[in-house]
Amino acid sequence: MKPLILFGSGGHCKACIDVIESSNEYKIKGIVVHPQEEIKEFMQYKIIGNDSNLNNFSSKNYLGLICVGQIPSPGTRIRLFNLINKKNIRLATVKASTSLISNYSSIDYGTIVMHNVVINVDARIGKNCIINTNSLIEHDVFVGDHSHISTGVILNGSVKVGNRCFIGSGSIVREGVKIGDRSIVSAGKVVMRDLPDDSILK
C-alpha cells in the first residue's frame, strides 16, 4: 500500500478517509493541519505536521491528498495545491472502490472520486478536483482543474466544465453544455445553455 498524508481535518476529510480506507491502495500515515489547529489526532490518525514544516515530508516518498472542501470557492485548495507542489510532494489520485470508472476515462493527480460515482467512457477529469458522492459523469465530459462536482450532480454527454468551478448538489447539466471557468451553479439547478466565465447561477 502506498504511504499517504492528508491535508485538512474537517468534514470533507472524514469523507476522504472513508473512501481511502475502502480502496486498499493507500495507507494513511498521518494528517497535516493548519498551524493554528491544536489537535493531536483526527479520526484516529495522528497529526504529523502543519503547513509550515512540509519540508519534513518531501524526502519521505509520501504521496499527498488535499482533504479541504470547496463550497464554493477553491481558494484554499489551490493554495495548498501550489504549496505542496512547491515542496515536491506528489499528489495522489484516489478512487472509491464503490465507484464505477471506465478504463477509457482519465483522472489527473490530486483528484478524489467519492463513493458511488459513475465516470463513463472518454470522460476527462482535471487536477485537484472533488467528484462527490453519487455524481454521474457521462461519456466525453471534460472537468477542468480545481473544480468540485457535488453530490448527485449529473453531467450529461460532452458537457465541458471549466477550471475552478463549483456545481452544486443535484444539478443537471444538459448534454453538450459548456460552463466557463470560475463559475458557480447552485444546488438543484438544471443548466440548459452555455455559461460564460465567472457565471453565478442561483
Give pairs for 69-74: CB < 8 Å, separation 24+: 69/8, 69/10, 69/11, 69/12, 69/130, 69/148, 70/130, 70/146, 70/148, 70/166, 71/148, 71/150, 71/166, 72/148, 72/166, 72/168, 72/184, 73/166, 74/128, 74/146, 74/147, 74/148, 74/164, 74/166
**What is the structure's pLDDT at 184?**
98
State whether the Cα torsion 31-34-35-41 is positive or negative.
negative
The secondary structure element, H or E, covering residue 50 is strand 45-50
**What is the structure's pLDDT at 61?**
86
**What is the structure's pLDDT at 147?**
98
166: Cα separation from own chain's centroid? 11
**What is the structure's pLDDT at 54?**
85
Residue 147 and residue 72: Cα distance in Å, rounded?
A: 9
**What is the structure's pLDDT at 38?**
79
**What is the structure's pLDDT at 93?**
98
Residue 42 and residue 30: Cα distance in Å, rounded?
A: 9
Q: What is the mean pLDDT of each run of 10 residues along the chain (202 residues)?
A: 94 97 93 86 93 79 95 94 93 97 98 98 98 98 98 98 98 98 98 98 96
Q: Are 143 and 162 in contact (CB under 8 A)?
A: no
From the list 147, 144, 193, the residue with the least C-alpha distance to 172 is 193
Torsion of CA 76, 80, 83, 86, to 10 degrees: -130
State whether the Cα torsion 98-99-100-105 is positive or negative.
negative
Cell numbers 463513493 correspond to what residue? Answer: 115
Percent over 70 (pLDDT), the chain: 100
**What is the structure's pLDDT at 139?**
98
**What is the structure's pLDDT at 51?**
80
**What is the structure's pLDDT at 192?**
98
Cell numbers 509520501 correspond to what residue? Answer: 62
- Domains of the chain with CATH codes: 2-92 (3.40.50.20), 97-197 (2.160.10.10)
**What is the structure's pLDDT at 83?**
93
Q: Are 176 and 192 in contact (CB under 8 A)?
A: no
